[in-house]
Chains A and B, each alone.
Chain A
Amino acid sequence: MTDIADQSVSTAAATTGRSLLQRGEHAKRRAASETRFRMLGLVAVMIGILAVVGLLASILSNGVSSFFQTYVTVDIYLNPAKLDKTGNRDPEALQKVTTFAYAPLISAAVEKLIETHGIEIEGLKPKDAAKIISKEAPASVRNYVLAHPSKIGETVKFDLLADGRVDGYYKGRVTMDSAKLDRNISPERLELADKLKHAGVLKTRFNWSFFTAPDASDTRPEAAGLGVAILGSAYMMIIVLVLSLPLGVAASIYLEEFAVQNFFTDIIEVNIANLAAVPSIVFGILGLAIFINFAGLPQSAPIVGGLVLTLMTLPTIIIATRAALKAVPPSIREAALGVGASKMQATFHHVLPLAMPGILTGTIIGLAQALGETAPLLLIGMVAFVREFPGAPPEGFFDPASALPVQVYNWTTRGDPAFVERASGAIIVLLVFLIIMNGLAIMLRRRFERRW
């Protein structure tokens, strides 16, 4: 075998003076540089992958626990003597009873709970035992009573949020050692929690209220949720979509298909390109100056956020749409014009449908960008602490609301480490939304492209 190969080499060398099997000096150098470049590229890709994996891992490890929450099941006797002194279940009278009246009921219920399970812990004052329950609990019990006044006088089973520190204890954030130094928790209370968990009264389960509950104050991280932020972001996305898609597409079609190429349109084009590169905080200032100070729109409202984000998204959509329109082969336009279609017919019957995947992809990517934008929203006051859910649209657009990225920012600035966990959880929610939107973009593109 080798002999034959050798022979062919020698004959080849004999006829042409050189062989394909022997690499020259130049070829060797070239091959080496090619290999080097390939390695470099591979290293770059690996670094990128590592960065993404590291980022995801850190966020997930911090944030996943925020989707779980510790609850204590308590039987509370809704004492009519405390809650309804008149006894006629008058809703107005019930409204006047504050959460301070409910706190003792919860304390009593916890004491009873300890008693029934026969738990005895040295050094735990009965008054402190109730502190394993969240400060948010009286409010939720009160809400329940206001909704069901007939239940007063009965004993009702409640799933109450455990205190943030107790929750943190089960998530590894709080230890017995740290509890000794902590004003808000004591090792005895943690011991009680352990015992209650053992008794099956205290449980950790999936935290739906993380998605539905509004934000909570600094001292009650366990109650804080993304409800208002998600709704606010959704409202803004609706506004952005409704405003920027038609505006952007109309502008692009005009510029690409109808406008005459002259100095004026050149200037517009340059400005659109520049607008896409303007830092987003500048749009925030613009929004503050024009929409709030000049037009007098309310602060912290999704309508203002939506308008600002629309301004920011428009250039992206216009650029993407124009690229998509440009990508439609001119032969299609000629074909349509050739059979006597007007320019508008050619554009709307043939060019636009073909450009649709590109336009939609551009729009969704623009929306995703807007969804993740924080800086301009800070300036228009969406960073405010909002506990009230905005109303149904369209009035709801003018109610104060928060937004997902702003909520993340907000939580990371708070002292309690429980909020860092919540912020990571919010980031995960944001990422999931972005992935869904990008997935949608890919799906739409596939679907439209597969048509022919």
Chain B
Amino acid sequence: MNEMTETATEAAVNAAASNRSVKMRGDKVGVFYGEKQALFDVDLDIYEHEVTALIGPSGCGKSTFLRCLNRMNDTIDGCRVTGKLTLDSENIYDPKIDVVELRARVGMVFQKPNPFPKSIFENIAYGPRIHGLVKSKGDLDEVVAISLQKAGLFEEVKDRLNEPGTGLSGGQQQRLCIARAIAVSPEVILMDEPCSALDPIATAKVEELIDELRENYTIVIVTHSMQQAARVSQRTAMFHLGNLVEVDATDVIFTNPSDPKTQDYITGRYG
């Protein structure tokens, strides 16, 4: 009975979003850390040119799922992923897949701004350089400038590209990290609580940026701030104890969620 309603809602959601094509699709994705299962059979579609927000209480598996999307979980010892995750219908956990290539197409921005302890220029130039995306110094300059412009940081830093990236303010650092991710021309950008270390004004700037980036990229964002999920995303997925509880248009989730767990979580009744 329960299963029936679930598939019904899913179908409705898919129908509503049918004008968008699926960029990434999770099919019964499970994650194990050693013996412990952290994620249970998650079926989640990420639509192109949309911001998908993953919400849920701490330890619910939303970050784990996010890190599956560009195989950052590979760096953790004893982490095992089951099920199927596709990017443009290619299984990203196929043994033949080159992880480095995947990560160039699915970029990531982390919770704490983590610029390299190098100059602003070097921070952005690093990605294109290791992927051999640029032929000449002129090309590289251009890529850096464009990436900074897209991240809305160019005007603020254009006169000090050779100064250390770590000398910027927290919000600028995070936008630098976004620019760094953009520089390798990814298709999907994953953001793991990108604003949790920022003040409200810096947060607003990053949120504005996310909304602008939606035009050219597909974005998946994990956030602890329900308001943020409501503000920036078009679709929201609610995780709880490693399960995907509910996924729906953000407008629906925040006015009339169908699952009581979502209801309790977003209204502040959880725990």
Q: Do A and B bind each other?
A: yes
A16: CB under 8 A from chain B? Answer: no
Please tell me if the beta carbons of B130 and A345 are within 8 angstroms of each other in the complex. yes
Residues of A within 8 A of B (CB-CB), count: 21
Contact with A338, one of B131, B166, B181 (Cβ below 8 angstroms): B181
A260 to B78, CA, bound (A): 9
Contact with B along A345-373 (1 / 0, CB 8 A): 10001100010000000000000000000
Please tell me if the beta carbons of B103 and A340 are within 8 angstroms of each other in the complex. yes
Q: In the complex, which residues 237-263 of chain B have their Cβ closer than 8 Å to any Cβ of chain A?
A: none
Please tell me if the beta carbons of B116 and A332 are within 8 angstroms of each other in the complex. yes
Closest chain B residue to A353, Cβ basis: B117
Q: In the complex, which residues 209-262 of chain A have their Cβ closer than 8 Å to any Cβ of chain B?
A: 260-261
A336 to B117, CA, bound (A): 12
Among B72, B112, B114, B115, residue most surrounded by chain A Cβ atoms (within 10 Å) = B114
* A72: min CB distance to chain B, Å: 63
With contacts A338-B108, A340-B127, A340-B131 known, is A329 near B114, CB below 8 A? yes
Total residue contacts A-B, CB cutoff 8 A: 68
Closest chain A residue to B180, Cβ basis: A339
Please tell me if the beta carbons of A337 and B130 are within 8 angstroms of each other in the complex. no
Contact with A along B58-89 (1 / 0, CB 8 A): 00000000000010100101000000000000
* A263: min CB distance to chain B, Å: 13
A342 to B72, CA, bound (A): 12
With contacts A261-B77, A350-B116 known, is A338 near B110, CB below 8 A? yes
A339 to B103, CA, bound (A): 6
A260 to B177, CA, bound (A): 29
Residues of B within 8 A of A333 (CB): 75
A264: CB under 8 A from chain B? Answer: no
With contacts A340-B103, A340-B130 known, is A334 near B77, CB below 8 A? no
Closest chain A residue to B127, Cβ basis: A339
Q: In the complex, which residues 416-452 of chain A have their Cβ closer than 8 Å to any Cβ of chain B?
A: 451-452
A339 to B124, CA, bound (A): 10
A341: CB under 8 A from chain B? Answer: yes
A340 to B97, CA, bound (A): 13
Residues of B within 8 A of A13 (CB): none
Residues of B within 8 A of A350 (CB): 116
Closest chain B residue to A329, Cβ basis: B114
A333 to B110, CA, bound (A): 11
Q: In the complex, which residues 307-330 of chain A have their Cβ closer than 8 Å to any Cβ of chain B?
A: 329
Contact with A along B125-150 (1 / 0, CB 8 A): 01100110000000000000000000
A337 to B131, CA, bound (A): 12
Please tell me if the beta carbons of B101 and A335 are within 8 angstroms of each other in the complex. no
Please tell me if the beta carbons of A331 and B127 are within 8 angstroms of each other in the complex. no
Closest chain B residue to A350, Cβ basis: B116
A261 to B79, CA, bound (A): 13
B152: CB under 8 A from chain A? Answer: no
* B118: min CB distance to chain A, Å: 8
* B23: min CB distance to chain A, Å: 18
* B129: min CB distance to chain A, Å: 10
Among B104, B108, B116, B127, residue most surrounded by chain A Cβ atoms (within 10 Å) = B116
Residues of B within 8 A of A345 (CB): 130
Please tell me if the beta carbons of B116 and A340 are within 8 angstroms of each other in the complex. no
Please tell me if the beta carbons of B164 and A452 are within 8 angstroms of each other in the complex. yes
Among A261, A338, A341, residue most surrounded by chain B Cβ atoms (within 10 Å) = A338
Residues of B within 8 A of A331 (CB): 110, 112, 114
Contact with B177, one of A335, A341, A349, A452 (Cβ below 8 angstroms): A335
Please tell me if the beta carbons of A339 and B117 are within 8 angstroms of each other in the complex. no
Residues of A within 8 A of B180 (CB): 335, 339
Contact with B72, one of A261, A332, A334 (Cβ below 8 angstroms): A334
Residues of B within 8 A of A340 (CB): 100-101, 103-104, 107, 127, 130-131, 184
Please tell me if the beta carbons of B107 and A337 are within 8 angstroms of each other in the complex. no
Closest chain B residue to A451, Cβ basis: B117
Residues of B within 8 A of A354 (CB): 117
Residues of A within 8 A of B117 (CB): 332, 354, 451-452
Residues of B within 8 A of A451 (CB): 117
With contacts A260-B77, A332-B116, A452-B164 known, is A339 near B107, CB below 8 A? yes
Residues of A within 8 A of B130 (CB): 339-341, 345, 349
A334 to B118, CA, bound (A): 16
The 5 A-B residue pairs with the shortest CB-CB distance, nearest first, are A331-B114, A340-B104, A339-B127, A338-B108, A340-B103
Residues of B within 8 A of A338 (CB): 70, 72, 103, 107-110, 181
Q: List 10 A-B contacts (CB under 8 A).
A: A331-B112, A334-B75, A334-B110, A334-B114, A337-B72, A339-B104, A339-B181, A340-B104, A451-B117, A452-B118
* B99: min CB distance to chain A, Å: 8
A337 to B114, CA, bound (A): 12
Residues of B within 8 A of A452 (CB): 117-118, 164, 166-167
Residues of A within 8 A of B167 (CB): 452
